[in-house]
Chains A and B, each alone.
Chain A
Amino acid sequence: MNKTMSLEISLEALIAGDRAEFARLVDAYSSPIYRLGLRMLGTPQDAEDVLQNTFLSALTHLPKFEGRSSLSTWLYRIAANEALMLIRKKKPEINLDDSQTGEKDEGLLPTQFVDWSALPEDELLSDEGKKALDSAIETLPESMRLVFLLRDVEGLSIKETADALNLTETNVKTRLLRARMLLREQLSTYYGERIAREERQ
């Protein structure tokens, strides 16, 4: 969705200060940026702050946009920074130090081997199932969660994710693997318990 929309937006018009074009940019990217804020901060109010600050910052910096990355990557970079800044302000107890997350081996080795992959779709997508997925995503460490959200939820490429977060591609791949493994592990625990519960009934 975003790629098609971004193609229709004229960078030239944006840089020239065309308000209508900027409004189109806002409409093209406000949903994914709001989602990112919601997933990173956890409340609608904070997500709205991330959203507003992202576009205010974009408006200020657009005249200096050099096109070294795509417009969407540039916007995601601003949004990620806004989200991290707000986390630092609101939750100073959280350690965002990159060396603390994503690089260590912990969490990679699976311990749950229940095969729930063949469960019917309506069971997996039930309200309870969605809630399990939501809380699993919430528990990912922040810097790992950002990589996961940009790559797996919003569909950016490894390179775009690396550009947006100022990471190497290797670093993105490492964090992505850990994030996916952690989520799988948590969902496996959840569905394992659920399958066992149903078997007892």
Chain B
Amino acid sequence: MTDHAHTNCEELLSSLSAYIDGDLGLELCLELEKHLAGCDNCRVVLNTTRRTLDLVHTPLEKTDLPKDVRERLFKRLNLDDYLSQKS
């Protein structure tokens, strides 16, 4: 752990989300990366935030619409004629 000023952590962490999304301006990006190189804690926060988002993308997408829910929805919308057309 280096002896950098930890007062910067909070300010730089506010850019973390934009950094992860590739949405951060060059100057701030360089500043953040410089900070990350010397701050173990912020690096852990970055890595675990990225991992959190990886996990979010994995399990949730598998929740598809249950068949009976689709049937009731089509009936409610008077779309019974089109019930069989789902690929």
Contacts and interface: CB of A to CB of B under 8 A. Distances in A.
21 contacts: A19-B79, A20-B82, A22-B77, A26-B74, A31-B64, A34-B63, A38-B63, A51-B65, A52-B76, A56-B77, A114-B48, A116-B48, A117-B44, A152-B53, A152-B56, A153-B56, A173-B18, A176-B17, A177-B14, A184-B48, A184-B49
B55 A124 contact: yes
Given A27-B86, A113-B45, A153-B60, A108 B73 contact: no
Interface centre among A109, A117, A129 (most CB of B within 10 A): A117
**Size range of the chain A interface in the assembly:** 35 or more
B58 to A, nearest CB: 6
B8 to A, nearest CB: 13
Interface of B: 10, 13-14, 16-18, 20-21, 23, 40-41, 44-45, 47-53, 55-61, 63-66, 69-70, 72-74, 76-77, 79, 81-82, 85-86
Given A173-B17, A180-B53, A22 B70 contact: no
Interface of A: 19-20, 22-24, 26-27, 30-31, 34-35, 38, 44, 48, 51-52, 55-56, 59, 108-110, 113-117, 124-125, 129-130, 133, 137, 152-153, 158, 173, 176-177, 180-181, 183-184, 187-188
